Amino acid sequence: MIRPHSSHRLLDRVFRFLFPGLLLLLLNGCASVGYYGQLVSGQLRLLQAREPIDQVIADPTRDPQLRAHLAQAREARAFASARLHLPENKSYRLYADIGRPFVVWNVFATPEFSLTPQNHCFPIAGCVAYRGYYSQGAARGEAALQRLQGMDVAIGGVEAYSTLGWFNDPILSSMMHWGDERLATLIFHELAHQRVYVKDDTQFNESFATFVEQEGTRQWRASRGLGPDTGKRMQQREQFIQRVLDTRQRLEQLYAQPLPAEQMRQRKAEEFQRLRADYEHLRDSQWAGDKYFDAWVYAPLNNARLLPFGLYSQWVPAFAALYRREGGDWVAFYEAVEKLGKLSAAERRAALEALAGPKDPTD
């Protein structure tokens, strides 16, 4: 149980978690120190808000819908360790009401003619392709500064994140708006980060966790007597993501060409217009005009808005192939993933490309 008088111990651990980077950044000015300061205070407030799920479920004065939702989450958490061989600890056996729709807002930034993200390096997590803020206003401020420097920028709200086992991560109120199954998938995804995490390779980490989430959800449904989720929304999502990834590939080829800036800018705009046209054709010819993705497509497009798709999806087919190669044995699969993680970046990419195999031209 988390007690108020334990706050000083929490603060000590939070500070030790972030202090190496904070000390190094003292040489880089107050802005960097201020950024780490909001990470310390934000993480501490989150940890102080935790309470055991069992306690919430047993309390008749709490919201009945919340209690029912957490009861389902408790079953999914037990399944994650017993059947998916994900870490057995107190993570996601606690609950925290954070009073906002997202726990953090990530800021993605790329140069105008590049899909290479601006990386940010941290003492424990290594380098990642975004910078997180506990305040939406602070994220918007950072985005504005990046735009002034000519960068393509995007902000994405995050429902949950993993501290990679440094703390007992809670189920957050920001995770509670998508139904019982979505909550289970988030638990599987975040525990996967605790199981295997490779410094400085966001695409590897997120694609791995996404595969565990997807396969774990399939097995979770089967354990409850439910068939595979063959709903149209999942199929639409896969088709939509493929169009975005195709756009990324074309833009990467474009940016490799030695073109004048104005011509490059025009060609870039044409690629985004092509994405919209491809989407409209897909929506109207195969989805009966379903406008579920319209808001994303018709918002201003830039390189940074494409980044999360590549980060979370690129290597999922490779991890699926690896899982099949290991006979669907989770323990053997994790061991194989750990071996990949020990390779150099170039060797790891080559191995993942070999696992993924050639792209199906009919996709």
What value does the mean pLDDT take over residues 219-225?
93
- State residue 123's pLDDT score: 65
97 vs 11: which has the higher pLDDT: 97
| Confidence tier at 317 by pLDDT (50, 70, 90) | very high
Average pLDDT, rounded, for the chain: 88
- State residue 120's pLDDT score: 82
Q: How confident is the model over 89-125, as pLDDT tens digits?
A: 999 999 999 999 999 999 999 999 999 998 887 766 6
237 vs 211: which has the higher pLDDT: 211
What value does the mean pLDDT take over residues 259-274?
98
With pLDDT > 90 as the criterion, what percentage of the chain qualifies?
70
- State residue 125's pLDDT score: 66
- State residue 305's pLDDT score: 96
Q: Which of 4-18, 27-41, 206-220 has the highest mean pLDDT?
A: 206-220
What value does the mean pLDDT take over residues 233-247?
90
268 within 8 A of 152, measured Cβ to Cβ: no
Q: How confident is the model over 53-89, as pLDDT tens digits?
A: 999 999 999 999 999 999 999 999 999 999 999 999 9
What residue ranges do the domains of the chain occupy? 4-223, 232-356
Question: Tokens 């979370």 — which residue?
Answer: 312
C-alpha–C-alpha distance, residues 82 and 74, integer Å: 12
What value does the mean pLDDT take over residues 235-240?
90
Instruction: Sort 300 into a burial class: Cβ within 10 Å, 0-12 / 13-18 / 19+.
Output: exposed
103 within 8 A of 53, measured Cβ to Cβ: no
- Is residue 348's pLDDT more than 90? yes
99 vs 161: which has the higher pLDDT: 99
With pLDDT > 70 as the criterion, what percentage of the chain qualifies?
88
pTM of the predicted model as reported, rounded to 2 decimal places: 0.81
290 within 8 A of 236, measured Cβ to Cβ: yes
Q: Is the dihedral of CA 344, 345, 346, 351 positive or negative?
A: positive
Q: How many degrees, rounded to 5, is the angle at CA 249 between CA 244 and CA 254?
A: 120
The SS3 call for residue 58 is: helix
- State residue 314's pLDDT score: 82
- State residue 162's pLDDT score: 86
| Confidence tier at 230 by pLDDT (50, 70, 90) | low
- Is residue 361's pLDDT more than 70? no
